[in-house]
Amino acid sequence: MPMFAPLPRGSSSALILAVCALLGACSTVDDASRKFANSITPYKVEVVQGNFVSREQVEALKPGMPRQQVKDILGTPLLQSVFHADRWDYVFTMRRQGLEPQARQLTVYFKDNLLTKVEGDPMPSEAEFVALLGEAHKVRKIPDLEASEDSLKSFAKSEAPAKPAATPAAPLPPLPTSYPPLEPAAK
């Protein structure tokens, strides 16, 4: 004995067609639905990696400086290749919600432990970098939280009459001055 009644003739193809149409509708994402999905996206963690090198630090480098002096100005390099002992790479990346990913790279070359040349991306000044850090955290305009006289009057009219003050409750007994031990006494 069958558990389900057979579908009327032609309705199975209509059902398959309806399911395919629904699945097809699920796959279309237009600009409006993408904007809606982005507006409810959860918070994304800021990822800052590497060594930030400012324009001022790069300008302080002079050919002929010893390695230690370069390290004092730029900090420890992110990459020191075993195969390129006379090359240090400083890489900085930053990914923040609402901003384009930032990536900067600077390479310093040495010969006989003295700086020979510096190559890399144009670096932002310290002031530009600080402005970039504050860019994503711009606060939306906070609405004024002031009520007009008319709105205050409407609240005063709807207030219920004040109840008479209740008689004060009896005072509580004082707290004990000592408490039982937390652990049983050792035997």
The CATH number that applies at residue 59 is: 3.30.1450.10
pLDDT in tens, 107-152: 999 999 999 999 999 988 888 888 877 665 555 666 677 777 887 8
- Cα–Cα nearest to 64, from 121, 15, 117, 1: 117
pLDDT at 175 (0 to 100)? 82
Mean confidence (pLDDT) of the chain: 78
For the chain, the domain total comes to 1
- Would 51 be classed as within a structural domain? yes
Q: pTM score, two decimals?
A: 0.49
- Would 85 be classed as within a structural domain? yes
Residue 58: band (very low, low, confident or very high) from pLDDT cuts 50, 70, 90 = very high
- Would 114 be classed as within a structural domain? yes
- Would 84 be classed as within a structural domain? yes
Domain that holds residue 99: 47-135
pLDDT in tens, 74-119: 998 887 778 888 999 999 888 877 677 888 999 999 999 999 999 9
- Would 173 be classed as within a structural domain? no
What percentage of the chain has pLDDT greater than the value 90?
21
Burial, 67: exposed, middle or buried (Cβ in 10 Å; 0-12, 13-18, 19+)?
middle
- Cα–Cα nearest to 53, from 153, 144, 121, 131: 121
